[in-house]
Amino acid sequence: MLARVGVEHIDDLFEAIPTSHLLDQPLDLEPALDEPRLMQHLSALANASKGANMLSFLGGGMYRHHVPPAVDQLLQRSEFYTAYTPYQAELSQGTLQAIFEFQTIVCELLGTDVANASMYDGASAAAEAVLMARRAKRRTHVVVSEGLHPEYIETIRTYVQGLDTEATITLAPIAADGRTNWDAARSLLTDKTAALVVGYPNFFGCVEDLDAARAVADPHGALLVTATAEPYALSVLRAPGACGADICVGEGQALAVPPQYGGPGVGLFGASQALVRQMPGRLVGRTVDSDGYPGYVLTLSTREQHIRREKATSNICTNHGLIALAMGMRTAMLGRQGFQQAGQRCLNAAHYLRAGIEKLEGFEIPYAAPVFNELVVRSRDPRAAELVSRLLQQGIIAGVDLGRFKDEWRQDVLIATTELHTRDDLDRLLQALAG
């Protein structure tokens, strides 16, 4: 290989690096540890971490819910853990059935006719929904609620920019109660608008009125797209598809795996039957063979790996199959009743916290709209970052400092509760705020 690239020695490949920056001795590494000692060492490092025992109220798109150890154990089965995309579908019946069950669960959650075999995450699913609406309506303008997660909005912009010179995204402002200002949104839609996109619940935790959204979209023939970052909200809220949404997307992380450095996620994507041929990615269908036995097949797989690039509905070249499988397992373990019970505990915790904060001096709840498990708290301090920093010193991660997204939100903290927060946890946060 050295002869082929025209050098005599491997060191010649690094001649552009100054000699003073090159290591001229072996790496100073400690002796290797055997497995038991290595595990003890790693446990000691983990327990020494400042964040190991911190009380967290982080949300903002990623949520910490209980995931049974059984999910991890089942995921490690080799036929799932090491399997790749089932290109020869007839040889991957187990994988295809698992994905089919995932699609069925997504349809039940979102209230849609069909769902695809997962996307990367909630943000890319929202962007793909916008592209799908543009194709279906053959229009270029999209109205997005300012209440949608800011990172979802940026992802949509990234996907849409450069598609054509007429591509435009207009933000509809939020009203004083934290939900979309429907009067303002109505004035932004035109006959060139492909879709109206709203969060459900939105980024501020507020539950949007989808009947009002439908009434705004219909006069212009625009599609209604909803994005749900917290799937547990659908345990107590009406499914967006049942409220008339044409395309429903979301993030399934909360029902699958704990939040880990912002991921991994699994995008949920459902739509009405009329739009099925415009859906991105792929779908798994169930059929019967010549002997009448059930079988699973990849169908409507209009990705660029399966069809000419210019005919493809998406350039997503894989799905988050393992996380989708984890979500399928977790929801099956929960069942309908368990799902509703967990959601009710999230709701109760948020309202207990809201009632407590409303009694504290120096804090207010700026938005009056109904919430599920997440709410904005406004502090008297000029910057919420200072409040978050002080609580961090007390072992409490208070939530998301919204000033990182917009300076006008610099006094706001987004606080999320789940079924894992006990009454003592909530009281601890309230006492810390009171101090």
CATH number of residue 362's parent domain? 3.90.1150.10
Residue with more model confidence, 219 or 289: 219
Q: Is residue 263 part of a domain?
A: yes
Residue with more model confidence, 331 or 85: 331
Of 330, 348, 383, the one marking the end of a domain is 330
Contact (CB, 8 A) for 432 and 396: yes
pLDDT classification of 262: cutoffs 50, 70, 90 = confident
Q: Is the pLDDT of residue 68 over 60?
A: yes
Q: Is the pLDDT of residue 313 over 90?
A: no
103-114 pLDDT, tens digit per residue, is 999 999 999 999
Asked if the bond preceding 264 is cis, omega within 30° of 0, the reply is yes
φ and ψ at 115, to 5 degrees?
A: -140, 150
Structural domain span for residue 158: 69-330
Of 278, 309, 330, the one marking the end of a domain is 330
Q: Is residue 19 part of a domain?
A: no
36-52 pLDDT, tens digit per residue, is 999 999 988 888 876 66
What is the separation of C-alpha 206 from the centre of its chain, rounded to a whole number of angstroms? 17
Q: Are strands 396-397 and 374-379 parallel, antiparallel or unpaired?
A: unpaired
- Whether residue 264 sits in one domain with residue 320: yes
- Whether residue 376 sits in one domain with residue 288: no
203-258 pLDDT, tens digit per residue, is 999 999 999 999 999 999 999 999 999 999 999 999 999 999 999 999 999 999 99
Q: Is the pLDDT of residue 343 over 90?
A: yes
The mean predicted confidence, pLDDT, of the chain is: 91
First to last CA, the chain: 68
- Whether residue 268 sits in one domain with residue 216: yes
**What number is the average pLDDT over the span 161-175?**
86
Contact (CB, 8 A) for 350 and 419: no
Which residue type does 251 have? Answer: E
The owner of tokens 């990623």 is 62
Beta bridge partners of 229: none
Q: Is residue 34 part of a domain?
A: no
Q: How far is CA 275 from each of CA 76, 247, 323, rounded to the nearest angstrom?
A: 36, 9, 26
- Whether residue 234 sits in one domain with residue 91: yes
Q: Is the pLDDT of residue 328 over 70?
A: yes
Q: Is residue 39 part of a domain?
A: no
- Whether residue 357 sits in one domain with residue 316: no
- Whether residue 284 sits in one domain with residue 219: yes
- Whether residue 354 sits in one domain with residue 401: yes
pLDDT classification of 83: cutoffs 50, 70, 90 = low
Q: Is residue 388 part of a domain?
A: yes
In terms of C-beta density within 10 A (0-12 exposed, 13-18 middle, 19 or more buried), how is residue 9 classed? exposed
Q: Is residue 180 part of a domain?
A: yes
Q: What is the pLDDT of residue 317?
A: 60
Residue with more model confidence, 96 or 186: 186
- Whether residue 362 sits in one domain with residue 245: no
Find the CATH number of the domain harbouring 103: 3.40.640.10
- Whether residue 164 sits in one domain with residue 99: yes
Half-sphere exposure of 68 (CA within 13 A, CB side): 12
- Whether residue 420 sits in one domain with residue 288: no
- The count of structural domains within the chain is 2
Q: Is residue 80 part of a domain?
A: yes
Beta bridge partners of 268: 250
Of 330, 355, 370, the one marking the end of a domain is 330
Q: What is the pLDDT of residue 116?
A: 92
Q: Is residue 361 part of a domain?
A: yes
- Whether residue 425 sits in one domain with residue 323: no
Contact (CB, 8 A) for 298 and 86: yes
Q: Is the pLDDT of residue 267 over 60?
A: yes
- Whether residue 323 sits in one domain with residue 367: no
Query: What's the chain look like in SS3?
Result: CHHHHCCCCHHHHHCCCCHHHCCCCCCCCCCCCCHHHHHHHHHHHHHHCCCCCCEECCCCCCCCCCCCHHHHHHHCCHHHHCCCCCCCHHHCHHHHHHHHHHHHHHHHHHCCCEECCCECCHHHHHHHHHHHHHHHHCCCEEEEECCCCHHHHHHHHHHHCCCCCCCEEEEECECCCCCECHHHHHHHCCCCEEEEEEECCCCCCECCCHHHHHHHHHHHCCEEEEEECCHHHHHCCCCHHHHCCCEEEEECHHHCCCCECCECCCEEEEECHHHHHHCCCCEEEEEECCCCCEEEEEECCCECCCCCHHHCCECCCCCCHHHHHHHHHHHHHHHHHHHHHHHHHHHHHHHHHHHHHHCCCCEECCCCCCECCEEEEEECCCCHHHHHHHHHCCCEECCEEHHHCCHHHCCEEEEECCCCCCHHHHHHHHHHHHC
